[in-house]
Amino acid sequence: MRNVILTNEQGDNLGEMEIWEAHKGNGRLHKAFSVLIFTPDRTKVLLQKRADWKLFGLHWANSCCSHPKPKEDPLANATKRLTEEMGIDCELTYCGAFTYHAPDPNGKGSEYEYDMVFMGIAEENVTITPDSKEVADYRWVTIDDLKKEENIAPWFPRVLDIALAYHG
């Protein structure tokens, strides 16, 4: 099984725990990352509908998300995971981090994460080859239309705010 990095609200490493143990019940605070891919004019963002088996399954969320591997660089992990999950290879930029806690609405556990936000730029016609085990669906959406979306993962608005603030 895979381990996640336990952390405090400042992002200091506090050890490791098996991934599903860290998400049980109210969860244990651990490191994660979220990736947002924007079009070059930054008017659209690529959304992913999470696979049904995941916490917040079938909710729309950022382009890609996962957990950095212990003893590895989070930026390198985020870049690799974007390629694995969505088939996109692009340069990513670190935008900031925040902590959130959100119990899954279907009782699967909780997300309690110190989330590092990365963003990248890709053309809207980029070839996307999602991993069907991880991704139920995907689509490009305008920033304005995001305000109307109701089935959004609870961390997504903060991820979007951080990425948009980074680029003014």
Residue 113 catalytic? yes
- Note the Cα 20 to chain centre separation in Å: 17
Among the options 64, 85, 95, 113, which is catalytic? 113
Sorted by sequence, the CB contacts under 8 Å of residue 116 that are 6+ apart come out as 11, 31, 32, 33, 34, 68, 74, 78, 94, 96, 97
- The active-site residue out of 65, 85, 95, 111 is 65
- Helices and strands (H, E) in the chain, number of each type: 4, 9
Q: Which two tokens stand for residue 96?
A: 């900031």
Q: Hey, which residues are catalytic here?
A: 65, 113
